[in-house]
Structure 1
Amino acid sequence: MDRKKKKTIILLAMILLLVVANGAASAWNDKSEKKKEKEAEASKIYLTDASDITAYSYSDGSQNMSFAKVDDTWEYDEDNEIPMNQDTVQSTADAIRQMEAVRELKNPDQLSDYGLDKPSYTIQFQDNDGVTTEILIGNGAGENYYATVGDSGKVYTISSGFQDYLQFDLTNLVQYDTVPSIGSGNLKSVTITENGTDTVYEEDDQVGELAGGFGALSLTDCANYHASAEELAEYGLDESQRITAKAVYTDSSDKEQTFTVYLGKTDDAGENRYVMVEGSDMVYRISETVAQNMISIEETGK
């Protein structure tokens, strides 16, 4: 074997050894990382550890919120017609069903010493076996809070961040109607129907003006979660009174879509207008300026 060929074989062998060594090191690191994760998980302390829950409620002594899962959909017990933001309500359910403790107190004193006889929050949940569990959250403990489960007598501390899951403002839990992304680049035409008369805007300059209104539309200020026919008339949103704004636009896949909004009366101050989305029972308030920008252009004043 000549010298050059021998050097090549040695070099290839060294490269192979390096590849094997790197592979082994990578496998060892992965195994070590998984071991650390397993050990970290094993060291965690949980007040609750249910596989799933079907209902839960929480109270701060003056306010109460309760939810139940019906056919895999979370509903608000006080009014099951109000659509809930499923991700938000589920995230609270997950935090309750597996509540992690910062630590467990050894040989705790009386529950009253931790404010657990008159808790700041009381939580109840029902698991998928129908078992109901109660959690009490008491006084603050530095950056944490004291907590106990049922009549276990055990006292834990939990992160103060858990309070973020206990939302008492319904507006933070509702699933509002979505507004598609509409701008001058993808808005093709707008048809305004008022008193039985259609006005179609499809010239570039006209569409450009109206795109500003649709682009600024935000449906977050809800006036009524499910308006009755009588209430719609009061808002000016019944069929005989409302103005219809139908936008034709292209979505991110360049497919043509339509988005239709009904506009009713202004509120008592005249600063906001009642609106609703076609196919929805929810009534919103939007700025009168935004409303006018959706239905009128400067050239015609229409």
Structure 2
Amino acid sequence: MRQKKTLMILILVFAGLLALYAGITFYQKNQSARKISSGQLTVKNMKAITSISYNNGQDLSFVKKDGTWYYEKDSAYPLEQSYLNTMASQFQKITAVRRLKNGDSLKDYGLEKPAYTIKVKDKEGTKTTYYIGNASGDNYYLTLDDKSEIYTVSADLLSNLSYSLKDMMKTDTFPSLSSGNLKKVVITGSGKKKTYTSKSKTDMDNIAGGLGVFTFGDCQNYSVKDKELSKYGLDSKSRISVDITYKDTDSKKTKNLTLYIGSKDKDKENYYVQLKGSKMVYLSDADVVKNILEP
């Protein structure tokens, strides 16, 4: 009889432990679900964004036409599309970390005079204005349109807003060159022509000393007109042409490009340079350019 009682007690204790475990598991799942739900609280869900404007120290406004983003004040400005594509995706659908209930005044959250005011429009013509205020830990306060609701949102939403227009410029790229992948270089200008080929290792090593470290500096004109080329010494009569044949390190294919070298800037520390086929004029370090012209 005593053994039966002991067994019954053990069964009841075991059942109680099972119930307790089930209760704890349910609570944890419920709390987890609440956290996920609160992290996915939708503030706004728009169609594809077609215009974005804001001020981050300068007024910036962009429009999307035929799948391409343009700077509204100058459609010729070369924009790196990834900045605007990311921004449009972020503001198309905004999810909040939480929504404030019975909050204080807008001033208390930096929303009376917000750090950012972002105006967007989607392809259906729906317009929305977002206001971003003070930081709240790893998040920021946000409200929109009539400012009737206040939310906290991830700081990721601000990731692209701090970039200047210059930061978002899409510039030309210059390939990685060395004596190992250079095949031929022809320099023409001032009535002279000099050819370097891979048949001479010394020639290639010398010319690679300049071309291997060449980079584009600050852009001086992103949409140069033919009539403007002469002030940079880049008109056809004045410029020096550097025709380069090389083996691309990624595709392993033989490629060609032409670099134009113009006059020095007023400080004599840089040369004006341009890639053939590009509308962009850059500065490049005078010592590096000299090593190309006089290897």
The question of 1:93 aligning with 2:88 is answered yes
Give the root-mean-square deviation of aligned CA atoms: 2.1
Counterpart pick for 1:129 among 124, 128, 153: 124
Specify the alignment match of 2:267 in structure 1.
269
State how far apart, in whole Å, the 2-side matches of 1:220 and 1:134 are: 37
Specify the alignment match of 1:246 in structure 2.
243
Specify the alignment match of 1:64 in structure 2.
59
State how far apart, in whole Å, the 2-side matches of 1:115 and 1:254 are: 55
The question of 1:232 aligning with 2:229 is answered yes
Contact 1:134 1:150 in 2 (8 A): yes
Using the TM superposition, give the Cα deviation of residue 122 of structure 1 relative to its aligned residue in structure 2, in angstroms: 0.4
Structure 1-normalised TM-score?
0.80
- Structure 1 residues 150-189: aligned runs within 5 Å: 150-189=145-184
Q: Which moved more, 1:73-82 or 1:167-176?
A: 167-176
Contact 2:39 2:95 in 1 (8 A): no
State how far apart, in whole Å, the 2-side matches of 1:102 and 1:71 are: 34
**CA 1:41–1:180: 2 relative to 1, 3 Å:** farther
The question of 1:216 aligning with 2:213 is answered yes
State how far apart, in whole Å, the 1-side matches of 2:164 and 2:190 are: 38
**CA 1:94–1:212: 2 relative to 1, 3 Å:** farther
Specify the alignment match of 2:69 in structure 1.
74
**CA 1:209–1:47: 2 relative to 1, 3 Å:** farther
Specify the alignment match of 1:197 in structure 2.
192
Amino acid at match of 2:239: R
Q: Show structure 1 runs of 5+ residues with no match.
A: 1-35, 298-302
Contact 1:125 1:134 in 2 (8 A): yes
Q: Deviations over 1:234-276 (max 9, x none)?
A: 1111111111111110123332211111011111111111101
Specify the alignment match of 1:258 in structure 2.
256
Amino acid at match of 2:74: D
State how far apart, in whole Å, the 2-side matches of 1:215 and 1:98 are: 45
Q: Deviations over 1:82-122 (max 9, x none)?
A: 11111122112212222332221112233233221211110
Report the secondary structure of 2:130's partner residue. strand
Contact 1:144 1:159 in 2 (8 A): yes
Counterpart pick for 1:53 among 45, 49, 52: 49
**CA 1:266–1:154: 2 relative to 1, 3 Å:** same
**CA 1:220–1:92: 2 relative to 1, 3 Å:** farther
Contact 2:244 2:258 in 1 (8 A): yes
Contact 1:63 1:168 in 2 (8 A): no
Q: Between the two proteins, what is the percent identity of the paired residues?
A: 38
Q: Deviations over 1:137-187 (max 9, x none)?
A: 122333432110111511011233433211342221011111122211110
Counterpart pick for 2:285 among 284, 287, 301: 287
Moved over 4 A (4+): none
Amino acid at match of 1:59: N
State how far apart, in whole Å, the 1-side matches of 2:235 and 2:88 are: 38
Aligned length: 260
State how far apart, in whole Å, the 2-side matches of 1:75 and 1:212 are: 38
State how far apart, in whole Å, the 2-side matches of 1:262 and 1:52 are: 41
Report the secondary structure of 1:172's partner residue. coil
